[in-house]
């Protein structure tokens, strides 16, 4: 039976859930993709070729058992599909929405490589878990046995939340400390609602609270809480702060008013979506309404900024990127969505400086061409002499990536080893740092990366912490 329902890629074409029309979706911050119906999800799942060597699974950071839960979906066994999906992924409905599937599972799908169009894995993953929430298949966290050991987690982003979920299910006492007033990290304040509506994140937070995880919000380590005291309070610690320090741009005029950082801009917009009063939005400082906007950068954060500016009512939105479309780091799917909504991409261009009296009025743009490849294999941009021009602008948003904060200094823990890039140095297998009982996971270890990698790191770190605490308990009992 299963054989007949699968391998339909020759007769059934690739189909994504319907997108709302650009002229409608550009007016709000709701998600742009619709939901599969039961028959459509089964039909699209049935296109899977059930590979002997599933490249989709091999290219998933979480090694999700994709072929099996696609088969179950095609056969109408949705609760089993959810159980299998949840077994390897703490937040499948979030990954289904924001993972760059075109660079991971779907981009390496065998039938995509053969020209038949990939299986729409991300959309099916989202559908399975959304259905699970609706049907009540997502069960509360109720540990079979309660443990006495306590684990403190610094950071309520995807790595911290994934670790907390896993540890709490094992019965450990878990407390999460975070500098923001809401949990979720960049999932809450960095990613706009049109990609990830906030109730999707908040219901996972509520699940953790209901399961006994304690949250201490508005808490900055080194300020409100001493790191040494934190170590004394808990039997083990996990550092999962992420990286939030924006990379600076060095060019004439960078101090002009109207040049803002991407995370400040996105956080303000997301706070407004929660219903918060945001003075920077009301004053226009972080509001693109009626303005000419230039975003600098080519990653997913830049895509979030240009699409947010459109929804705020910008007169025009242009994105400057120093390489071409084929070499940009951001998702091609997101780039297409942005273009549909009215964003103009200016490829092979970079800022040389900014002009204005007190406030920015223009970006000095220098044209580039691609030269020989660098050590990574990517072609290096080269300056085209005499091709500079000035782009008139009212607000410039810099989205050049993030770097780690100086944790040993900020937390007064000079013994904590960091790499030459400033990330916390941790064993790549166990996530243990050089400090006994202290672990680290997510972007603070690997640098700015994807949510799915943070989830993987958090889960792995949780398992290592559990092993460490169990071994410590055995030693104490002897």
Q: Is residue 6 part of a domain?
A: no
CB atoms within 10 A of CB 308: 27
Q: How far apart are CA 462 and CA 431, in angstroms?
A: 9
- Is the pLDDT reported for residue 11 higher than 90? no
- Which residue(s) pair with 432 in the sheet? 439
Residues 215 and 304 in one domain: no
Mean of pLDDT over the chain: 95
- Is the pLDDT reported for residue 47 higher than 60? yes
- Of residues 265, 365, 360, the one with CA closest to residue 319: 365
- Is the pLDDT reported for residue 1 higher than 70? no
Length of the chain: 478
Residues 364 and 284 in one domain: yes
Q: Is residue 421 part of a domain?
A: yes
Residues 384-418: b if buried by 16+ CB within 10 A, e if exposed? eeeeeeebebbbbbbbbbbbbbebbeebebeebeb
pLDDT digits (tens, 9 = 90+) for 303-353: 999 999 999 999 999 999 999 998 888 888 899 999 999 999 999 999 999
Q: Is residue 225 part of a domain?
A: yes
Placement of tokens 């540990």 in the chain:
143
pLDDT digits (tens, 9 = 90+) for 94-149: 999 999 999 999 999 999 888 889 999 999 999 999 999 999 999 999 999 999 99
Phi-psi region of 342 (alpha: psi -120 to 50; beta: other; left: phi over 0): left
Q: How far apart are CA 205 and CA 187, in angstroms?
A: 12
273 φ/ψ angles, rounded to the nearest 5 degrees: -65, -30
Return the percentage of the chain with pLDDT > 90, whole number. Answer: 87
Residues 177-192: b if buried by 16+ CB within 10 A, e if exposed? bbbbebbbbbbbbbbb
Mean pLDDT of 255-270: 97
Residue 4: band (very low, low, confident or very high) from pLDDT cuts 50, 70, 90: low
365 φ/ψ angles, rounded to the nearest 5 degrees: -105, 130
pLDDT digits (tens, 9 = 90+) for 402-442: 999 999 999 999 999 999 999 999 999 999 999 999 999 99
Q: What per-residue confidence (pLDDT) applies to 330?
A: 85
Residues 326 and 279 in one domain: yes
The pair of structure tokens assigned to 475 is 């030693």
Residues 379 and 432 in one domain: no
Q: Is residue 458 part of a domain?
A: yes
pLDDT digits (tens, 9 = 90+) for 186-232: 999 999 999 999 999 999 999 999 999 999 999 999 887 899 999 99
If you ran DSSP here, which 8-state letter would residue 24 be given? H
Q: Pairing mode, if any, of strands 292-296 and 395-398?
A: parallel
Residues 280 and 373 in one domain: yes
Domain that holds residue 54: 22-135
Residues 255 and 394 in one domain: yes
Greatest alpha-carbon pair distance for the chain in Å reads 77
- Is the pLDDT reported for residue 3 higher than 70? no
Residues 128 and 29 in one domain: yes
Q: Is residue 114 part of a domain?
A: yes
Q: What per-residue confidence (pLDDT) applies to 144?
A: 95
| Residue 160 near residue 154 (C-beta atoms within 8 A) | yes
Residue 38: band (very low, low, confident or very high) from pLDDT cuts 50, 70, 90: confident
Which CATH number belongs to the domain containing residue 117 in this structure?
A: 1.10.1060.10
Q: Is residue 13 part of a domain?
A: no
Q: What per-residue confidence (pLDDT) applies to 476?
A: 80
Provide the angle, in degrees to the nearest 10, between the axes of the packed helices 121-135 and 78-88: 110
- Is the pLDDT reported for residue 2 higher than 70? no
Q: Is residue 1 part of a domain?
A: no
**Count: domains in the chain:** 3
């Amino acid at each position: 039976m299963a054989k007949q329902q699968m391998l339909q890629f020759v007769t059934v074409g690739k189909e994504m859930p319907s997108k709302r029309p650009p002229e409608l979706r550009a007016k709000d911050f709701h998600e742009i993709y619709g939901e599969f119906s039961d028959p459509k999800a089964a039909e699209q799942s049935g296109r899977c070729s059930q590979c002997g060597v599933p490249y989709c699974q091999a290219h998933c950071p979480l090694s999700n058992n994709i072929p099996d839960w696609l088969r179950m979906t095609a056969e109408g066994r949705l609760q089993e599909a959810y159980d299998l999906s949840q077994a390897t992924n703490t937040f499948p409905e979030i990954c289904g929405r924001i993972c760059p599937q075109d660079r991971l599972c779907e981009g390496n799908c065998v039938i995509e490589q053969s020209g038949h169009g990939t299986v729409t894995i991300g959309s099916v993953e989202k559908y399975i878990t959304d259905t699970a929430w609706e049907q009540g298949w997502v069960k509360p966290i109720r540990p079979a046995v309660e443990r006495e050991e306590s684990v403190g987690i610094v950071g309520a982003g995807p790595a911290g939340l994934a670790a907390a979920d896993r540890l709490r299910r094992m019965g450990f006492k878990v407390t999460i400390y975070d500098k923001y007033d809401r949990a979720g990290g960049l999932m809450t304040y960095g990613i706009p609602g049109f990609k990830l509506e906030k109730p999707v994140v908040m219901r996972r937070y509520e699940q953790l609270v209901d399961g006994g995880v304690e949250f201490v919000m508005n808490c900055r380590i080194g300020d409100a809480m001493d790191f040494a005291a934190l170590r004394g309070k808990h039997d083990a610690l996990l550092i999962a702060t992420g990286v939030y320090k924006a990379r600076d741009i060095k060019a004439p005029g960078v101090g002009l008013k109207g040049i803002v950082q991407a995370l400040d801009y996105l956080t303000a917009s997301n706070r407004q979506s929660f219903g918060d009063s945001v003075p920077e939005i009301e004053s226009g400082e972080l509001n693109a309404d009626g303005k000419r906007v230039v975003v600098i950068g080519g990653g997913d954060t830049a895509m979030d900024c240009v699409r947010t500016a459109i929804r705020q009512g910008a007169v025009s939105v242009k994105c400057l990127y120093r390489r071409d479309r084929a070499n940009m780091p951001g998702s091609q799917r997101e780039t297409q969505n942005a273009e549909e909504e009215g964003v103009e991409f200016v490829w092979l261009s970079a800022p040389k400086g900014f002009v204005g009296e007190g406030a920015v009025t223009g970006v000095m743009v220098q044209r580039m061409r691609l030269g020989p490849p660098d050590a990574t294999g990517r072609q290096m941009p080269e300056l085209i002499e005499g091709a500079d021009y000035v782009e008139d602008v009212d607000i410039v948003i810099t989205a050049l990536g993030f770097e780690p904060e100086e944790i040993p200094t900020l937390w007064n823990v000079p013994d904590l080893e960091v790499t030459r890039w400033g990330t916390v140095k941790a064993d790549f297998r166990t996530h243990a740092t050089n400090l006994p009982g202290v672990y680290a996971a997510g972007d603070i270890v690997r640098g700015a990366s994807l949510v799915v990698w943070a989830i993987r790191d958090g889960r792995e770190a949780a398992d290592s912490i559990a092993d460490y605490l169990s071994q410590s308990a055995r030693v104490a009992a002897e």
